[in-house]
Amino acid sequence: QEQMVESGGGLVQPGGSLRLSCAGSGFRFDDYSIGWFRQAPGKTREAVVCISSDDRLAYYGDAVKDRFSIWVDAAKNSLGLRMKDLKADDTDVYYCAEAESCPVLTSEPTYWGKGTQVTVST
């Protein structure tokens, strides 16, 4: 019973910060490429960050590089995303996800959660 549950979303003003978390169960994070993607209604998925199962490095999307950072607690099967200097364009539903490799995190995820809404607005 693989499951991923996101939390921590909410309303934040531009320039603010927010921390998201993801609780996983039924699988080991270490066995997959894991990370976050975001998606607005009617739009395609955008990769935010992915930790590769091949080299264990974190790869960030250009739009969030230097502003977001990922953390993983393998012992607790938890995953998080620290977000700072948030912009209106960051408004999206954020999903934690796993995949066989980072290039397919958005197109062919093995599993993902229901998402948590992040809204950046005054």
Closest-CA residue to 19 (of 68, 76, 65): 68
**Is residue 119 over pLDDT 90?**
yes
Q: What pLDDT, on the 0 to 100 scale, is given for residue 115?
A: 97
Q: Alpha-carbon distance 115 to 112, whole Å?
A: 8
Q: What pLDDT, on the 0 to 100 scale, is given for residue 88?
A: 97
pLDDT band for 107, please (50, 70, 90 cuts): very high
**Is residue 11 over pLDDT 90?**
yes
Q: Alpha-carbon distance 6 to 118, whole Å?
A: 11
Q: What pLDDT, on the 0 to 100 scale, is given for residue 59?
A: 97
Note the residue count of the chain. 122
**Is residue 26 over pLDDT 90?**
no
Q: What pLDDT, on the 0 to 100 scale, is given for residue 41?
A: 86
Q: Is 90 helix (H, G, I), strand (E, B) or coil?
A: helix
Burial of 38-55, coded b for 16+ CB within 10 Å and e otherwise, reads bbeeeeebebbbbbbbee
